[in-house]
Structure 1
Amino acid sequence: MKFVLSILTGVLLWLAWPTLPLTPLIFIGLTPLFYLTERVQNRWQYFGLIFLAFLTWNVGSTWWVGNTTVPASGVFANCFNALLMSIPWLGYKNTRRKLPESAAYFALIVYWLTFELIHQTWELSWPWLVLGNAFALRPGWIQWYEFTGASGGTLWVLTANIAVYHTWKQLRLHGAAGITHIVKSLLAPLAVILLPLLLSAFIHPIPDNPARKTGIVIVQPNIDPYDEKFNSGTAMQQLEKFLRLTQQQADSNTRYIIWPETALFPRGAWESQLNYQQEVIAIREMLRKYPKARLITGGVTMKEYPAGEAPATARDLEGDRKWDAFNSALQIDTSNSIQIYHKYELVPGVELIPYVRYLTFMQYVAMDMGGISGSYGRTPDATLLTNTSDSIKVFPTICYESVFSNYVGAQVKTGADLLVIITNDGWWGNTEGHRQHLQYARIRAIETRRWVARSANTGISAVVDPAGNISHPQPYWQEAVIKATVTPRKDITFYVKNGDLISKGAVIFCILLLVYSFMSRFIPGLKHAEIHQ
């Protein structure tokens, strides 16, 4: 029975996850774990059941991370993430022995929110399964994310599960003492679930300014990342495809042309010599036909550092010279100026060896997913791509970065009017990976109330409006080109202005709970009588 409940938790969470349509199951998915917490006394058995539940969820929802040339990476990722998810529940189990039930529920919320925040900020980050992401398919339910961010959704999920379980427990213990008692008992979970839905119905983004409508062209080239993208000698052939597709839809009203991640220089190009690259010369020749347009594209770039100025990620060149490789976004126009943004939120194990500054011998262990193997460099601060003639600032989110609520919100706060996502989701094939990734863009749009233009190498390229509605989605594994309009916006949401207040508050309470737990071991007066279950 206990084993079944553990598996049931993972299955419910998987069925509730995008892009499956059973989202409401998220409100009961965790309830079996509350039952197990009360019934299982052996700590190792409890840990095993909790770990199994989260492993089932991870494997069901993100098994595709192992759909690469190194399948073992997916096994490790799912197991490690399940292990981390178990920690807040172990803390909850321990807290139940020391504090009343209601305080223990509060502690679980605090522990989980703290875990999710840490999982967005450290170098082993994997925020793909943030509980608040469960509603990506239902933007109409979460318009209030402009105040709370995705952590508000996490709070909603946890609170709803607690309310549902507590109500079930009370009805089970005291029996059904008439229909009136049943109705009263159900009011709490219904209110927790329905009130945010009703609130969302009354929240709408500020209307766009029609005068700022901006024409864009998004290219989806459909270049196989394994057999074609990074092969030597094919770069110019790929460029010809990009140019051909672009010119199918670009016109005098086009302000931005958007190509996907690593569209240029798949084998790398020195940043000091970009103006002399054949690709850049050809692009500028095309842009002369559309003088008001800027091209935003991905590319692999390299930078050499003077002696003594290289960061920990830098590699040896010769002598005292060092260099770094970057997964970059570039903005190219007809001038000699190229604006460059270096991807900051790197994929652990693929683009980044976590804490390589302490493990320098691991520098080249990162998986070779084409291009330049080994850890990419990281810039300390993001750079917005500016267009002074139209007073537009773009934040070019590269692939995995679009999953980070706090990071994207922080860049919008610095002045981004428009979000662009450039990605290459073809690594994981025709799995839920690229579909989930598209849906998460809806959450970023709602949190920031920004238009999102998404260019994916193999799909799904699309446009997302500030209310989270998707338009112009292109079929996966087909070349395509989108002609659309977006509206750069200046308004700032409460979430963007103030950041993730819910998670910040949770961290404070988490610290206080940990201090209390530590002190209670040495000061008898602080220790609550143990609750026997």
Structure 2
Amino acid sequence: MKKPFLLLSILSGIVLWLSWPTMPLTPLIFIAFTPLLYISEKVQHRWKYFGLVYLAFLVWNVAATWWVGNTTLPMSGVFANCFNALLMSIPWLAFKNSRKKLPERVAYFALIIFWLTFEYIHQTWEFSWPWLVLGHAFALRPGWIQWYEYTGTSGGTLWVLLANIVIYNVWKRTRLYDFSWKQVLRNESWKPALIIGIPLLLSAFIQPPADNPARKTDVVVVQPNIDPYDEKFSSGSAMEQLAKLIRLSKEKADSNTRYIIWPETALFPQGAWEHDLNYQPEIQAIREMLHQYPRAKLISGAATLKRYNSTEEIPSTARTLNDGSRWDAYNSALQVDTSRSVQIYHKYELVPGAELVPYVGYLSFMQSVALDFGGITGSYGRMPGVEMFTNPADSINVFPVICYESVFSNYMATHIKPGANLLVIITNDGWWGNTEGHRQHLQYARLRAIETRRWIARCANTGISAVIDPAGNIHQPQPYWQESVFKATVTPETVTTFYVKNGDLVSKAALIFCILLLVHAFISRFIPGLRHAEVNQ
């Protein structure tokens, strides 16, 4: 393997990392793939090409998300980074094959289609990991991507790939024709300027909906700062944690408070049966507190347990009790008020390995390898709970988003469509320590605010709690590893964005084109003349 190609591969991975949140060099994303495009053109040996592409993505994954291994089992992070780099290589292998069979411009089109399809699949199967979706690269620059309300992050992915392809081809033409700098500026520079500049210009003219003062709502966000390893799931500490949460809540709550928000798994760290919640001492203590603030509701994370009866559909994640009955554990969000009604939402987008053993219905023996992050181990259930938390008295519908779910743009948009007008993200970002993990997680929430044009109240167990407005601006961010509580004003929004209304049209179109390309590739194997004619067009 020639040294220059090796250096180019490493360079591509490093530039991808430098352009990634929370690094400040976002514009580098527009040239990050150009070394790989050069390698795709020059390296003909299939396995050498694969090795170079894989190395670039491995460097990017390790540099940007090394923190996934900052757990009790570091090898889990090694596997995650290596496996994700392998998956990222597949679209580029398909692109390399397309270069041999299709005209150059069509091959570039195929690369865009293959990558968008990969990102779409990577958000829908059980090995999901959309953390490095290319459209997330602009999380630090919300002013650049106000048009995400039409396309979601897949529009950002398309933007990145188009810019890289155009810039690479401008460079290639400059070398081929030995252009001077004046010729480049006069004849070629307009192409990347157009591709990069038009979305920026559009973003400058797109404005989020204006707040309605009459609908302003006071919320109290509690960040208890409980160590997830040594304290949170330890036996006998649940009521002490509850007392801390109530004490902090009372510091800021008043008669105008509509929601008090606690983080992921704040309640019942060892689990509580859903049919018995009204009798739990934690729920009774919460209602006693809420009697002081009669218009307030409490939204909190909780670990809940559900026993299935004989008439219910029993999922593959269900476990068996000694009496033969089946049950499931859920990472849940609860809405509690002074009535006896407890609304329960079940987290659906689960973290592979930690909360979900992928395809456990087919690989049941894998249950034993689930990472132990305290509390309940093994796969959580994925049976849906309520769609959203309703509050008819104040005309507010809250969609509660639990931790990892906030990385899934299409999932959140789909669940806002039924009528949610306020987002609450509850999370426990302390698992990975004071790394880029919790900082990147916060930044991605800004994109969800833009895509849906919803206010977000984000409550973390230990940083970074904040509120985010529909333009993606962060307000009142709380320090990591610090106990805090703050009061904020948010506005339930009623506007429905194009993205929420119509879904991820960019990815859906890419999926259709990907199927057509694969059908074409299959047919061309049996009609050699068709392949020859196209290559020579």
Please, what TM-score do these two structures have when normalized by structure 1? 0.98
Once residues 182 and 95 of structure 1 are traced to their aligned partners in structure 2, the CA distance between those partners, rounded to angstroms, is 31
Matched, 1:311 2:295: no
User: Contact 1:143/1:467 (CA < 8 Å) preserved in 2?
Assistant: yes
Question: Which residue number in structure 1 is paired with residue 373 of structure 2?
Answer: 369
Of 14, 21, 42, the residue aligned with 1:11 is 14
Asked whether 1:489 is paired with 2:493, we answer yes
Contact (CA 8 Å) 2:253, 2:487: kept in 1 or not? yes
The one of 437, 441, 455 equivalent to 2:441 is 437
1:526 and 2:530 aligned? yes
**Does 1:414 find its partner at 2:408?**
no
Equivalent of 1:506, from 493, 503, 510? 510
Query: Residue 343 of structure 2 aligns to which amino acid in structure 1?
Result: Q
Q: Which residue of 2 aligns with 1:323?
A: 327
Q: Any conservation in 2 of the 1:256–1:296 contact (CA below 8 Å)?
A: yes
Asked if structure 2 preserves the Cα contact closer than 8 Å seen for 1:329 and 1:340, the reply is yes
Q: Which amino acid aligns with 1:518?
A: F
Question: Would you say 1:68 and 2:63 are equivalent positions?
Answer: no
Distance 1:230 1:74 in 2: 22
Q: Deviations over 1:348-368 (max 9, x none)?
A: 000000111112232343111
Q: Which one of the candidate residues 511, 515, 521 is aligned to 1:517? A: 521
User: Residue type of the partner of 2:117?
Assistant: T
Give the structure 2 partner of residue 404 of structure 1: 408
AA in 1 matched with 2:143 = G
* 1:529 Cα offset (Å): 5.6
* 1:340 aligns with one of 336, 341, 344: 344
Q: Which residue of 1 aligns with 2:55?
A: 52
Listed one character per residue, the Cα deviations across residues 87-131 of structure 1 (whole Å, up to 9, x for unaligned) are 000000000001111100000000000000000000000000000
Q: Residue 164 of structure 1 is aligned with which of 167, 181, 192?
A: 167
Give the drift of 1:526. Answer: 1.8
> Is it true that 1:359 corresponds to 2:331 in the alignment?
no
The answer to whether the 8 A contact 1:99-1:528 is kept is: no
- Aligned counterpart, 1:427: 431
Pair 1:28-2:31 in alignment: yes
**By how many angstroms is 1:318 displaced?**
2.6
Match of 2:215 among 212, 221, 225: 212
Letter aligned with residue 70 of structure 1: L
Given residue 138 of structure 1, which amino acid in structure 2 is its aligned partner? Answer: R
* 1:313–1:363 Cα contact (<8 Å) kept: no
Q: Which amino acid aligns with 1:334?
A: T
Structure 1 position 81, deviation (Å): 0.3
Match of 1:97, SS? helix
For residues 382 and 147 of structure 1, what CA distance do their matches in structure 2 show? 27
Cα distance per residue 1:249-304 (max 9 Å; x no partner): 00000000000000000000000111111111110000000000000000000000
Letter in 2 for 1:286: M
Q: What is the CA distance between 1:183 and its match in structure 2?
A: 2.2
Q: Report how far residue 176 of structure 1 moved.
A: 1.3
Return the match for 1:155 from 146, 154, 158.
Answer: 158
AA aligned to 1:483 is: K
Farther off after superposition, 73-82 or 168-177 = 168-177
Measure the CA separation in 1 of the matches of 2:238 and 2:368.
24
How many percent of aligned residue pairs carry the same amino acid? 71
Task: Work out whether residues 382 and 411 of structure 1, in 8 Å CA contact, stay in contact via their aligned partners in 2.
Answer: no
Aligned mates of 1:189, 1:301 — CA distance in 2: 52
Asked if 2 retains the 8 angstrom alpha-carbon contact of 1:16 and 1:134, the reply is yes
Letter matched to residue 375 of structure 1? S
Q: SS of 1:218's equivalent?
A: strand
CA distance in 2, matches of 1:103, 1:54: 24
Partner of 1:256: 259
1:143 aligns with 2:146: yes
Which residue of 2 is the match for residue 188 of structure 1? 191
Q: State the alpha-carbon separation in 2 of the partners of residues 222 and 319 from structure 1.
A: 39
- Whether the 8 Å CA contact 2:345–2:384 is kept in 1: the answer is no
Structure 2 CA distance for aligned equivalents of residues 5 and 381 of structure 1: 49
Shift in CA distance, 327/76, structure 1 to aligned 2, threshold 3 Å? same
- d(CA) in 1 for partners of 2:122, 2:165: 23
State the alpha-carbon separation in 2 of the partners of residues 452 and 480 from structure 1.
Answer: 18
TM-score by length of 2: 0.98
Q: Distance in 2 between matches of 1:38 and 1:150?
A: 28
Instruction: For 2:384 and 2:288, locate their aligned partners in 1 and report how far apart those are by CA, in whole Å.
Output: 33
**How many equivalent pairs are there?**
532
Query: Shift of residue 177 of structure 1?
Result: 5.1
CA distance in structure 1 between the partners assigned to 2:371 and 2:447 by the alignment: 29
What per-residue deviation string (whole Å, max 9, x for no partner) do you get for residues 342-397 of structure 1? 00000000000011111223234311101111110002476201111111110100
SS of the residue aligned with 2:369? coil
The AA in structure 2 aligned to 1:455 is: C
